[in-house]
Amino acid sequence: MSKFARLVNNVAVDVVDGDPAEYFHPDIAAQFEEVPSNVEAGWVFADDVWSAGESSNSAETEVFQTVGVIKFKLLFTSPERVKAKELRASDALIDDFWSILDDPRTTEVDLNLSSIQNAIEYTLTAINAAGIAIDVGERKADILSARLL
């Protein structure tokens, strides 16, 4: 079985065995490339060589905030929130994520969690594909910064 990774600044941020389309939205799955079977998340690709060493990528060591649910939702723009709400009817992954946020037992969102970061990227990618023109990477960085626009 082949192994695939999604690279950000030459760092394997997501690594899967098999077809990435089984785990990710098609727009995100398209960003994956085949890698050697020993590559793991966090490995660096430099000078045509994979290594498990430290990266100079500042995003890898960046620590994000934990924010309240209301603030988290407000990190998305009003058009983004409206489109995400609309997409919940047809996209089970978006509905699942936002349902967790709507659960009264959920009081905070840890922006360091890869599952949260993936859900943000997935939601933004779907919003963009649905007609709200945004730069997904820039908006994800804005949201992870926890600064209200």
> What are the tens digits of pLDDT across the range 96-114?
999 999 999 999 999 988 8
* Residue 57 confidence (pLDDT): 47
> What are the tens digits of pLDDT across the range 39-83?
888 888 888 888 886 544 444 457 889 999 999 999 999 999 999
Domain coordinates of the chain in residue numbers? 3-52, 66-145
Q: E strand or H helix at 26, and its extent?
A: helix 26-29
End-to-end CA distance of the chain: 44
> What is the residue-averaged pLDDT of the chain?
88
How many angstroms separate the CA atoms of 13 and 1, rounded? 20
> What are the tens digits of pLDDT across the range 8-48?
878 888 888 989 888 788 888 888 999 998 988 888 888 88
Concatenate the DSSP letters of all residues of 39-98 into one string. Answer: --TT-EEETTEEE-S----HHHH----EEEHHHHHHTS-HHHHHHHHHHTTT-HHHHHHH
With contact defined as beta carbons under 8 Å apart, do 91 and 126 qualify? yes
Determine the number of helices (DSSP H) and then strands (DSSP E) in the chain.
7, 7
